[in-house]
């Protein structure tokens, strides 16, 4: 069975690593073709089990461009020969539109669309033109999968998708894997030394993650605190420039993408998000499973995800001073930080294990293929 995945990029981020997790869980009976609208943005492929057959063609028609009939026809034609089509976020919406227009012409297989959130251009508010486009483009998709309650509401009310088509599947992880304390030298290019404390995050280095703000919020912490940002992306220079401006560059570390967060995140003493927009961030679940307290703006489902003990440390979106104050409060109170982290660990283990998530995705894909199970 051949599956085609269409992404705007496949650098390591939340949705990409979830896709990798599912690819690995589904096993080596399937063949996967992964298309990235940005040809060099494929770093998440390094986390795919080498026993699984994966190709990343460079000659697939561009996913971005004007949605003219001839271009959509070329996209639809390129989707022939697969058994299941999986599209992800706005960056693949033209492919969904091509599917809706030309499905019958090319006898295309079922398509399932995944919507995980919004980039910088829609982080504050959705664009009306895109809402209309989504309504039409998703018209013939077998299912629309979302991870958060907010996205579920948008899909139903704004994009006017049928209730039976919309499936909310919360992101899950192997919670047991995060219970073990990593070695101090687990990360490349940075070692945790005795007496150090780490404020950490996992994020694609993109504008929507607002990581220069996290540098500013961190900058007033005492010298034993280090900021470690795991991820890769185009904002690396902006993050480094802000650290230099604030004279904390020697305490801000950017080790790059790390394929196995379970072997690293436990080195953190406190976890933080600074994003303009999130939905149901996997990194927060990973931090919870590792027994960490989390500081975050109130974006997406983060408030509901966290334990009640942690919710006082979720600040209003855009309130930089409150975010910095919450980081400081937890950084200076070891007992409070530990108690909040313990509560988060219990909640993650009870509600966010990957077995439930994988079973739900199997069910969605099986229903799209009209099969009793998948693969």
What is residue 259's predicted lDDT score, i.e. its pLDDT? Answer: 83
What is residue 279's predicted lDDT score, i.e. its pLDDT? Answer: 87
Same fold, 2-172+354-369 and 175-351: yes
What is residue 44's predicted lDDT score, i.e. its pLDDT? Answer: 93
Tell me how crowded residue 290 is: count the other CB atoms within 10 A of its CB. Answer: 27
Q: Where are the domains of the chain?
A: 2-172+354-369, 175-351
- Give the residues of the chain that fall short of pLDDT 70: none
Question: Is 102 exposed, middle or buried, given 0-12, 13-18 or 19+ CB atoms closer than 10 A?
Answer: buried
What is residue 117's predicted lDDT score, i.e. its pLDDT? Answer: 86
310-368 tens-digit pLDDT: 999 999 999 999 999 999 999 999 999 999 999 999 999 999 999 999 999 999 999 99
What is residue 214's predicted lDDT score, i.e. its pLDDT? Answer: 98
Query: Among all chains, which residue has been given the structure tokens 């940002």?
Result: 229
What is residue 12's predicted lDDT score, i.e. its pLDDT? Answer: 81
CATH topology of domain 2-172+354-369: Rossmann fold (3.40.50)
**Model pTM greater than 0.85?**
no
237-284 tens-digit pLDDT: 999 999 999 999 999 999 998 888 999 999 999 999 999 989 889 999
Distance of CA 249 to the CA centre of its chain: 27
Torsion over CA: 116, 121, 123, 125 (sign): negative
What is residue 7's predicted lDDT score, i.e. its pLDDT? Answer: 97
The backbone torsions φ and ψ at residue 11, rounded to the nearest 5 degrees and listed phi first, read -75, 160
In terms of CATH architecture, what is 175-351?
3-Layer(aba) Sandwich (3.40)
Kind and range of the H or E run holding 357: helix 354-369
What is residue 122's predicted lDDT score, i.e. its pLDDT? Answer: 84
């Amino acid at each position: 069975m051949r599956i085609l995945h269409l992404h705007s990029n496949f650098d390591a981020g939340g949705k990409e690593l979830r896709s990798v997790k599912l690819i690995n869980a589904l096993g080596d009976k399937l063949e996967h073709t992964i298309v990235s609208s940005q040809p060099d943005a494929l770093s998440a492929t390094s986390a795919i089990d080498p026993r699984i057959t994966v190709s990343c063609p460079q000659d697939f028609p561009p996913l971005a461009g004007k949605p003219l009939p001839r271009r959509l026809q070329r996209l639809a034609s390129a989707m022939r020969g697969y058994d299941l089509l999986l599209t992800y976020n706005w960056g693949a919406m033209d492919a969904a539109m091509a599917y809706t227009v030309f499905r019958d012409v090319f006898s295309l297989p079922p398509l399932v669309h995944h919507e995980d959130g919004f980039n910088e251009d829609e982080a504050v508010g959705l664009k009306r033109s895109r809402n209309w486009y989504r309504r039409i483009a998703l018209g013939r998709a077998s299912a629309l999968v979302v991870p958060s309650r907010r996205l579920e509401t948008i899909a139903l009310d704004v994009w006017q998708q049928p209730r039976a088509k919309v499936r909310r599947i919360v992101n899950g992880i192997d919670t047991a894997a995060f219970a073990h304390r990593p070695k101090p030298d687990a990360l490349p290019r940075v070692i945790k030394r005795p007496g150090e404390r780490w404020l950490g995050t996992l994020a694609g280095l993109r504008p929507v993650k607002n990581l220069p703000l996290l540098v500013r919020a961190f900058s007033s912490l005492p010298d034993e605190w280090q900021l470690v940002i795991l991820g890769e992306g185009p904002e690396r220079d902006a993050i480094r420039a802000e650290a230099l401006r604030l004279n904390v560059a020697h305490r801000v570390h950017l080790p790059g993408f790390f394929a196995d967060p379970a072997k690293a995140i436990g080195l953190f003493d406190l976890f933080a998000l600074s994003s303009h927009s999130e939905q149901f961030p996997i990194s927060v679940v990973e931090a919870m499973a590792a027994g960490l307290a989390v500081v975050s703006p109130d974006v997406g489902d983060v408030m509901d995800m966290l334990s009640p003990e942690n919710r006082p440390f979720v600040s209003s979106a855009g309130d930089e001073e409150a975010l910095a104050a919450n980081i400081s409060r937890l950084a200076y109170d070891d007992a409070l930080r530990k108690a909040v982290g313990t509560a988060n660990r219990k909640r993650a283990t009870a509600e966010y294990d990957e077995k439930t998530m994988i079973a739900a995705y199997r069910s969605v894909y099986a229903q799209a293929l009209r099969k009793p199970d998948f693969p």
